[in-house]
């Protein structure tokens, strides 16, 4: 089982006797849009055309809790998350494939949550919707309810203290854009900068122009150059635990296990007692 699947592989799997559950998680960071533009509506995008049989999942409502001290996209209430997954047909004994509009961040968030809560077989459509060569559908399916019950793993996630410790004892990667890491700009959170000791590693550098992940060995070389060597524990954070999940996925493609700090910079920077580093140097 790999973490990603190509469009052609998915098309083949969908014709099998036990096709995967398809989840459409189209989402965009509204704050990143130009002033005056309407908020992105993932559900409307889904309704306009989606992979046949796919069911829409709302990242803000079902893959995250309400914004607050825990960040802009804190971990969801597990009862809410579990109920949402069962409603869209997720069962423990059936493969799941997740996709989004192409950026990969939202799909990776769903992938990470399902994996962290115990689902054994989840993959992301590499390249998102654009990787699908078949026809799209406007029909909303009514799936049979699933039986998945989320059970968080003992590993896979860290809190703010755990992230701080990883920055000292292991490797903590910051998946945001380099200018936010340095603190040159901060369009969303209270203050710019990074967790002291964290290394800048924009997740956008893990994909090619088509939005698909770079080859496994190329990714492995990149992460090794950043310090992900054998025996080093690796963690990732971002702005709010979404693009960071995409970096964890890239690490998985490279064969490197990593944990996610879900609260990420939105939680860290919201706590005025936490230290903030600026500039290109980790410290």
8 A C-beta contact, residue 115 and residue 122 = yes
Give catalytic status of residue 238 as yes or no. Answer: yes
Q: Which of 219, 238, 248, 256 is catalytic?
A: 238
**How many C-beta atoms surround the C-beta of residue 159 within 10 A?**
13
The per-residue DSSP string of the chain comes to --SEE-HHHHHHHTTSSSPPEEEE-----GGGSPTTPPPP-HHHHHHH-B-TT-EE--HHHHSS--SBTTBSSPPPPHHHHHHHHHHTT--TTS-EEEE-SSS-HHHHHHHHHHHHTT-S-EEEETTGGGG--S--B-----PPP--------SSSB--HHHHHHHHHHSEEEE-S-HHHHHTS--SSSSS--B-TT-EE--GGGGB-TTSPBPPHHHHHHHHHHHT--TT--EEEE-SSSSHHHHHHHHHHHTT---EE-SSHHHHHTT-TTS--B-SSS--
Joined together, the tokens standing for residue 240 give 């709010």
List, as one string, the DSSP characters of 104-139: -HHHHHHHHHHHHTT-S-EEEETTGGGG--S--B--
106, 149, 161, 239 from 114: Cα distances, Å:
13, 10, 24, 20
Catalytic residues: 238
């Amino acid at each position: 089982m790999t973490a990603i699947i190509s469009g052609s592989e998915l098309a083949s799997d969908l014709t099998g006797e036990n096709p995967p559950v398809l989840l459409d998680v189209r989402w965009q960071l509204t704050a990143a849009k130009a002033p005056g533009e309407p908020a992105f509506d993932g559900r409307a995008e889904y309704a306009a055309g989606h992979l046949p049989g796919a069911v829409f999942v709302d990242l803000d409502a079902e893959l995250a809790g309400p914004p607050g001290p825990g960040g802009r996209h804190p971990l969801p209430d597990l009862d809410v998350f579990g109920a949402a997954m069962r409603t869209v047909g997720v069962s423990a004994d059936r493969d799941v494939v997740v996709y989004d509009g192409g950026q990969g961040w939202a799909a990776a968030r769903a992938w990470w949550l399902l994996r962290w809560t115990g689902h054994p077989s989840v993959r992301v459509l590499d390249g998102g919707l654009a990787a699908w060569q078949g026809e799209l559908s406007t029909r909303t399916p009514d799936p049979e309810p699933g039986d998945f019950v989320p059970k968080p793993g003992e590993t896979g996630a860290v809190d703010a203290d755990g992230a701080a410790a990883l920055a000292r004892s292991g490797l903590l990667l910051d998946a945001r854009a380099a200018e936010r890491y340095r603190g040159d700009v901060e369009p969303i959170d209270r203050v710019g900068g990074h967790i002291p000791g964290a290394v800048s590693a924009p997740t956008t550098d893990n994909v090619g122009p088509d939005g698909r992940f770079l080859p496994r060995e190329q990714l492995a070389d990149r992460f090794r150059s950043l310090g992900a060597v054998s025996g080093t524990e690796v963690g990732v954070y971002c702005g709010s635990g979404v693009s960071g999940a995409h970096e964890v996925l890239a690490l998985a493609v490279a064969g490197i296990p990593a944990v996610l700090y879900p609260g990420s910079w939105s939680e860290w920077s919201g706590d005025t007692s936490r230290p903030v580093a600026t500039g290109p140097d980790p410290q």
